[in-house]
Amino acid sequence: MTVLDLLGAAEEVHDRAPVVELRGVTRQFPGDPPVHALHPTDLTVRAGEYLSVVGPSGSGKSTLLHLLGLLDSPTDGEYLLDGRPTSGAGERERAALRATRIGFVFQAFHLLPHRTVLENVLLATVYSGVPRAERRERAVAALERVGLAHRLDFLPTVLSGGERQRTAVARAVVARPAVLLADEPTGNLDSASSESVLALFDELHAEGLTLLVITHDDEVSARAQRRVRIADGRLQEIA
């Protein structure tokens, strides 16, 4: 099984609107003076692209990730997710979009420690409207895809860092999102585990998944098909 099977939309990938499109998006935080975390920004990510956003601490990476993940709203501009404007969306609609169109991978994995690997992956199916009868099958398939079929009933606390992050990736893709947002996915991993996760990303990308990886690490960034640098809240495409 490929991730495109999980996504269930392989043949439509190239004809669709951009998965992510920022049009003049800004984010300011109130203060004296106000903090311009993100200056007016345009960004387009098409289906199947593997984009990395690289930048140092305080450059606005997290702000960008929160906006892209619909965890925060822009001060100005429009964010279209899968061609749909999101600025007017209410809390419920944004939650539904997060559940169905976005998969998150966090630096600290953010797995629920008291739940098994399988239950952690099932969590994402609960909110995304996957029929109850299909949930387990899809969660197991996602875990097989990331090479953790033998760890279904393990608690995350007994897994290695790399295994935890792969569990997180399985959780992120199980609901067939339009885009996978990864925030410093190798930040807590040793080099071997980092490599295994990045190799997994390569494979997922090869299978057609849209990936957007935010990192401060140039080596991680270099694995992406397309790279964008962020500094002082401004985005700049790297040739």
The only residue of 22, 37, 47, 104 in contact with another protein, by rule CB under 8 A:
104
Site for another protein contains 88 (CB under 8 A): no
Strand partners, 214: 53, 183
CA distance 205 to 193: 18
Least distance between another protein and beta carbon 58 (Å): 14
Q: Which residues are CB-contacts of 132 (< 8 A; sequence separation ≥ 6)?
A: none
Helix or strand (DSSP H, E) at 26: strand 20-29
Burial 127-164 (b: 16+ CB within 10 A, else e): ebebeeeebeebbbbbbebbebeebbeebbeebebbbb
Site for another protein contains 176 (CB under 8 A): no
* 79 versus 227: smaller Cβ distance to another protein: 79
The only residue of 1, 17, 87, 114 in contact with another protein, by rule CB under 8 A:
114
Site for another protein contains 136 (CB under 8 A): no
The distance between the two most distant Cα atoms of the chain, rounded to a whole number of Å, is: 54
Q: Which positions from 67 through 86 interact with another protein, judged by CB under 8 A?
A: 69, 71-72
Taking residues 27 to 66 in sequence order and writing x for each that binds another protein by CB under 8 A, - otherwise, the string is ---------------------------------------x
Site for another protein contains 222 (CB under 8 A): no
List residues binding another protein (CB under 8 A): 66, 69, 71-72, 91-92, 95-96, 98-100, 104, 106-108, 110, 112, 114-115, 123-124, 126-128, 132, 171, 175, 187
